[in-house]
Amino acid sequence: MKLRDIAIGANASIYLRMDFKKIKGVFYPRTEQEIIDAIATAHDGGYSVTPKGGGSGLSGACTGGNRERVMISTLRMREVLMISKDQGYADVQPGATPDEINALLEPIGMKFWVAPSSRDIASAAGSLSTDGGGNDTWVNGTMRDNTIRAKMVLYDGRHLTVDWNGVTSDDSELEAELNKKGMTISDVASAHGTLGFITELRVKIKPFPSEKLLGGLAHFEDCNAMGRALSELIKRKSPIRYGETVAAAHEDVREGLDLPLLILQFPEDFASELKDILDYSNLDSEGLAKMKDVRIKLPKRNPNEGLQIALFEGFGYHGNGLLKMQDAIDEINSLLIGHGLALFARYGHAPSKWYLGDNSPAYGVILHSREIMPEDKTSREMFDTITDIVAKCNELGITPKPEHKWPFSDEEKKTRIKELRKVMGTGFNDFILDPDGAYDTLSSMV
Ligand SMILES: Cc1cc2nc3c(=O)[nH]c(=O)nc-3n(C[C@H](O)[C@H](O)[C@H](O)COP(=O)(O)OP(=O)(O)OC[C@H]3O[C@@H](n4cnc5c(N)ncnc54)[C@H](O)[C@@H]3O)c2cc1C
């Protein structure tokens, strides 16, 4: 490992070929004032700022996209500043992770309920910027649902606080203009650091519910049948506490399972209503733990020959799309096979919740996908496959990358961010909104 990698930190995305010479500064502020000073340095040099948390974002946004830029990391700002058990909130610095927040909350019987698999490294500000969530978003929502307010600093040093009612700022003109545009937390959510630097968040905390949960395992003829059952669960706002599917898996790792299947955990008093919706067999606690283990280990395994990769990792089937889930999976599979990939696995959160670019909630299933890495494919071909999948998703009414987020292709979100940046100013992660296309930048980084 080289010194520059340590200084710049992690990047979990597939965009790895970075031109480090274009990084004009790396800052690790400890206070809001140090963030303001770091932004002022970038501003004076005319460089774009890339805010960075844990670097676990998978869209490539936290790389800054190979433009001349200054990186400002929140790795040294991870404190929980205040907890109000009575009022159900915690004030946290931008770099605090869910695990760090929960380590302080657990002794008082409270929890911050945003739990991505990356909860040991994903920062609060990074999670809001990607609107992340865990496999329990169906019950607990995404990061935006769990954020009460966010404080931000802009490229020119102005401050503002955004909550669900609007914006407050010591700059009354800025406040009035942003409120005229109806800016709320929804706009900061999933903005991928393009609006400003988040310096502090107030997040919701809730006690653990006391309810007895049961486990169940349901098998389906195909994903259309599973989609119909999920559609009904969603329509009835079913109290599913854990829901995961293994929709397809390579024969080397299938372990004789009859797929597709749903693993469910639900309150005892929902058991009979669930029987009306789908056929399931009961799982005792040992059986449930075993099925959860099969599901969690699936993406960590490889076929007997070759290696599997998360080339795209995320298809959100919702609305009427759930009723034709298998047909859409078949179309995506053909596209991937046409691009020379062999299929490895489809699995993920079901039912789940995420947000579309216009901020409306979508309810459905988020299927993660893994393929077997072809040996002879160039980086450019890999990237072209990704953009073809995005086009196919848009054609089929599927949300591309609902959880790991692909901001570059979401026209509605981009239009809204651009509108807000006319008031707030630019200077943060500008490459994402560049008319020449983040695609060109990113394709050179695969
Ligand atoms: C193994 C693994 C498992 C994962 N599992 C999940 C999962 O279950 N659910 C899920 O939703 N995601 C998951 N992710 C994706 C990832 O963890 C999330 O996107 C995460 O929320 C990003 O947080 P971060 O601190 O790492 O942000 P980074 O990757 O550092 O940055 C992400 C974006 O946020 C912006 N940003 C960061 N800090 C600030 C700030 N202070 N102000 C303004 N903008 C900022 C960056 O510029 C960038 O655009 C997973 C990733 C990995 C590697």
Query: Would you list the domain boundaries of the chain?
Result: 3-75, 80-208, 213-405
Query: Which CATH architecture group holds 213-405?
Result: 3-Layer(aba) Sandwich (3.40)
Q: Tell me how far the alpha carbon of residue 426 is from its chain's centroid.
A: 23
Q: What is d(CA 285, CA 269) in angstroms, rounded to the nearest whole number?
A: 17
Q: What is the pLDDT of residue 290?
A: 96
Q: What is the pLDDT of residue 440?
A: 84
Cβ proximity of 111 and 207 under 8 Å: yes
Between the CA of 193 and the centroid of ligand 1 the distance, in Å, is 10
Between the CA of 214 and the centroid of ligand 1 the distance, in Å, is 32
Distances (CA, A) of 138 to 135, 294, 312, 366: 8, 21, 22, 11
Q: What is the pLDDT of residue 266?
A: 98
Ligand 1: which of 23, 50, 97, 130 to mutate, judged by most atoms within 8 Å of the beta carbon?
Answer: 130
Between the CA of 159 and the centroid of ligand 1 the distance, in Å, is 23
Between the CA of 115 and the centroid of ligand 1 the distance, in Å, is 12
Contacts of 383 (CB under 8 A, 6+ apart): 439, 442, 443, 446
The CB of 94 under 6 Å from ligand 1? The reply is yes
pLDDT digits (tens, 9 = 90+) for 156-191: 999 999 999 999 999 999 999 999 999 999 999 999
Cβ proximity of 45 and 167 under 8 Å: no
The CB of 227 under 6 Å from ligand 1? The reply is no
Between the CA of 303 and the centroid of ligand 1 the distance, in Å, is 29
Tell the residue number behind the tokens 């009859």, with chain if given.
258
The CB of 92 under 6 Å from ligand 1? The reply is no
Q: Report the alpha-carbon angle 434-439-441, nearest 5.
A: 75
Cβ proximity of 429 and 190 under 8 Å: no
Nearest ligand 1 atom, CA 133: 11
From the first residue on, what is the mean pLDDT of each consecutive set of 10 residues in the chain (446 residues)? 68 86 95 97 97 93 91 97 98 98 97 94 97 93 98 97 98 98 98 97 94 97 98 97 97 94 97 97 97 94 94 94 97 96 96 95 96 89 93 96 84 95 97 83 87
Q: What is the pLDDT of residue 3?
A: 63
* Domain 80-208 CATH assignment equals 3.30.465.10: yes
Q: What is the pLDDT of residue 4?
A: 66
Q: What is the pLDDT of residue 123?
A: 98
Q: What is the pLDDT of residue 13?
A: 86
Query: Which CATH architecture group holds 3-75?
Result: 2-Layer Sandwich (3.30)
Cβ proximity of 418 and 433 under 8 Å: yes
Q: Long-range contacts: 180-185, Cβ < 8 Å, 24+?
A: 181/419, 181/420, 181/423, 183/420, 185/128, 185/144, 185/147, 185/148, 185/149, 185/150
The CB of 53 under 6 Å from ligand 1? The reply is yes
pLDDT digits (tens, 9 = 90+) for 320-335: 999 999 999 999 999 9
The CB of 194 under 6 Å from ligand 1? The reply is no
